[in-house]
Amino acid sequence: MQSWVDGRPAGSLSLKDRGLAYGDGLFETIAVRGGRPGLLDRHLARLAEGARRLSFDLDLDLVREELLAFSAQLDEGVAKLMVTRGDGLRGYALPGTPPRRILMGSPYPAYPEGHAEQGIELFPCLTRLAEQPLLAGLKHLNRLEQVLARAEWQDARFAEGLMRDVSGRVIEGVFSNLFIVRAGVLLTADLGRSGVAGVMRAELLDQAAVQGIVTQVRDIGYEELLTADEVFLCNSLYGVWPVRRFAGHDWSVGPLTRKLQALARDLLDS
Amino acid sequence: MQSWVDGRPAGSLSLKDRGLAYGDGLFETIAVRGGRPGLLDRHLARLAEGARRLSFDLDLDLVREELLAFSAQLDEGVAKLMVTRGDGLRGYALPGTPPRRILMGSPYPAYPEGHAEQGIELFPCLTRLAEQPLLAGLKHLNRLEQVLARAEWQDARFAEGLMRDVSGRVIEGVFSNLFIVRAGVLLTADLGRSGVAGVMRAELLDQAAVQGIVTQVRDIGYEELLTADEVFLCNSLYGVWPVRRFAGHDWSVGPLTRKLQALARDLLDS
């Protein structure tokens, strides 16, 4: 598959890149259908927020332009965009060079049909998310916690894993955000201390509110998850997966989950 | 300067490398003098511990062999060794490919003479270290906290910055470990929740014990730092820098600091 660095075809990168040295960068994983990047404004908004908080002097118009051109060439698949702080000298001090833009194409992942239809079983990860408000919410390149969590299970029966923070709060999946439904209210974790604020999560929160569904973004305790009426995961590639089983608890696929799944499908197909 | 990937000269890296994608790797920064890598066994021991905790199937004999050959060519300077999990597929699951070995040479940094002689002023970083026992102590490639901390000051009057953890404990410098002396006892922070366990820190703890100095590795509160008799920093490139000033507090360079500075100098020159 094709890949670009700073707008030109390339398959490799300088060893001096600070994305490699320190994980000093951000990324977005974008569904491309019919030559168009999905949820483009949401992805760019999160990238802009990350650039602001990490002090990247990023030309967002240029990023948008390249992403559109790259998606047109890719046609169907996943565009992974990485933005790094470019080459560094030795040491942590900011080099003052412009950020580097990396685009990589890959085929659309072949998720089993059953994940969306019947729902999935969630693995209880022991790896806890550290609390770091300065990085929370961002999709940055420091992802060792996710690597450790994903390495906890090999059994294909688990499609995703649940991650809690060091204080035990329920946060998200390894590569998904988590929603629960309690008494008709749609809840997802506050990501002010840890976690990745997914673009599909943001989109579903907005769309649900438009549909008159009451939404809450707040801390979620473990017991609240276990006693929820409905549980589901989302991301910008697969949309919504109902959670059918976790830690000996079983759920059927609920009506709000199906409603939001249909909304997500519309968003990804549009 | 020269650089090698997997034992062969190379200046670039696959865009698919998981060191770039997730910071999924480890590094060592090694002083090279007279063609020999300094504190080699310590560096390799820390790397081995990191490889074990991150489940890298690393051939340490090969790493040692390459490091010796690379240092012989470099002669004088700094050898930066990175080990990444190699190329990945999309997603966090471990790819099962062997780790990639990267070696990069750079000139020996030109630290001002005064830093070691008269001591340095320490900047009080606001960036706090998150508590993540699974990664604490390791020199891994997830270093955004250090990037944020180092970006807090531009004034060259500060040679280093102090980092505390989210609970306020005194942990380390941005690129150094910290020691304090209180009533003749040499103290450094426990790094079980955050921080990088430096090879010079380990060496000084051992050497001090051999010299009959009482050492303690434990949590250090902020007030303990401010009321310490002596304060100094160390790493494997510059040895020991006395801390002369921090947050309105002044210290003169104490006798234990000078003793350990001489020990560090011997280690780096040997």
CATH, residue B205: 3.20.10.10
Q: What residues 23-42 of chain A have any CB closer than 8 A to a CB of chain B?
A: 23-24, 27, 29
Q: Are residues B69 and B125 in the same domain?
A: no
For residue B89, pLDDT over 80 is answered with no
Q: Looking at chain A, which residue has its C-alpha nearest residue B54?
A: A148
Residue ending a domain, among A81, A106, A131, is A106
Q: Are residues B58 and B184 in the same domain?
A: no
State the CB neighbour count (10 A cutoff) for residue A154. Answer: 10
B87 in contact with chain A, both atoms CB, cutoff 8 A: no
* Active-site residue, B49 included: no
A56 in contact with chain B, both atoms CB, cutoff 8 A: no
Pair of tokens at residue A166 = 């060091």
pLDDT at A96: 86
Tell me chain B's radius of gyration from C-alpha atoms: 19
Q: What residues 137-196 of chain A have any CB closer than 8 A to a CB of chain B?
A: 140-151, 166, 174-175
Domain region containing A52 = 3-106
Q: Are residues A62 and A150 in the same domain?
A: no
Does the beta-carbon distance from A145 to B166 stay under 8 Å?
no
Split into its structural domains, chain A has a count of: 2
For residue B138, pLDDT over 90 is answered with yes
Suggest the residue from B8, B56, B90 to mutate for an interface test with chain A (most A CBs closer than 10 A): B90
| Inter-chain CB pairs, A–B, below 8 Å | 169
Residue among A42, A27, A52 at smallest CA distance from A139:
A27
Choose among B109, B141, B145: nearest Cβ to A90.
Answer: B109
Does the beta-carbon distance from B92 to A146 stay under 8 Å?
yes
pLDDT < 50 regions, chain A = none
Q: Are residues B41 and B84 in the same domain?
A: yes
Q: Are residues B97 and B122 in the same domain?
A: no
Average pLDDT taken over every residue of chain B: 97
pLDDT at B208: 97
**Residue B269's pLDDT band (boundaries 50, 70, 90)?**
confident
pLDDT over 70, % of chain B = 100
What is the distance in angstroms between the Cα of A193 and the nearest Cα belonging to chain B? 10
**Contact list, B135 vs chain A (CB under 8 Å):** 144-145
**Contact list, B18 vs chain A (CB under 8 Å):** 147
* Active-site residue, B230 included: no
pLDDT at B143: 98
Question: Average pLDDT, stretch B31-45?
Answer: 97
Q: Kindly write down the DSSP assignment for every residue of chain B, as one continuous string.
A: --EEETTEE-SEEETTBHHHHH--EEEEEEEEETTEETTHHHHHHHHHHHHHHTT----HHHHHHHHHHHHHHH-SEEEEEEEE--B--SSSS---PPPEEEEEEEPPP---HHHHHT-EEEEE--PPBP--TTTTB--BS--HHHHHHHTT---TTEEEEEEEBTT--EEEESSSEEEEEETTEEEEE--SSSSB--HHHHHHHHHHHHTT--EEEE---HHHHHT-SEEEEEETTTEEEEEEEETTEE-PPPHHHHHHHHHHHHHHH-
Does the beta-carbon distance from B166 to A132 stay under 8 Å?
yes
Q: Are residues A213 and A166 in the same domain?
A: yes
**Model confidence over B217-255: pLDDT tens digits?**
999 999 999 999 999 999 999 999 999 999 999 999 999
Q: Looking at chain B, which residue has its C-alpha nearest residue A101?
A: B15
Choose among B3, B15, B102: nearest Cβ to A102.
Answer: B15
pLDDT at A104: 97
Does the beta-carbon distance from A22 to B102 stay under 8 Å?
no
Q: Are residues A225 and A192 in the same domain?
A: yes
Asked whether the beta carbons of A185 and A215 are under 8 A apart, the reply is: yes
**Would the CA dihedral through A200, A201, A205, A206 be positive or negative?**
negative
Choose among A24, A80, A151: nearest Cβ to B147.
Answer: A24
pLDDT at B114: 95
Choose among A15, A21, A82: nearest Cβ to B12.
Answer: A15
ipTM of the complex: 0.97
Q: Looking at chain B, which residue has its C-alpha nearest residue A129?
A: B132
**Model confidence over A30-66: pLDDT tens digits?**
999 999 999 999 999 999 999 999 999 999 999 999 9
Choose among A13, A127, A144: nearest Cβ to B24.
Answer: A144
Q: Are residues A76 and A199 in the same domain?
A: no
User: Phi, psi (5° rounding) for residue A262?
Assistant: -65, -40
What is the distance in angstroms between the Cα of B210 and the nearest Cα belonging to chain A? 32
Q: Are residues B117 and B155 in the same domain?
A: yes
* Active-site residue, A139 included: yes
Residue ending a domain, among B88, B106, B124, is B106
Q: Are residues B98 and B220 in the same domain?
A: no
State the CB neighbour count (10 A cutoff) for residue A207. Answer: 17
Residue ending a domain, among B106, B121, B153, is B106
Q: Looking at chain B, which residue has its C-alpha nearest residue A153?
A: B93
List, in sequence order, every residue forming a beta bridge with A122; answer none if it has no partner: A160, A246
DSSP state of A87: B
B17 in contact with chain A, both atoms CB, cutoff 8 A: yes
Q: Are residues B122 and B80 in the same domain?
A: no
Q: Are residues B260 and B166 in the same domain?
A: yes
pLDDT at A94: 92
For residue B94, the domain's CATH number is 3.30.470.10
Q: Looking at chain A, which residue has its C-alpha nearest residue B96?
A: A151
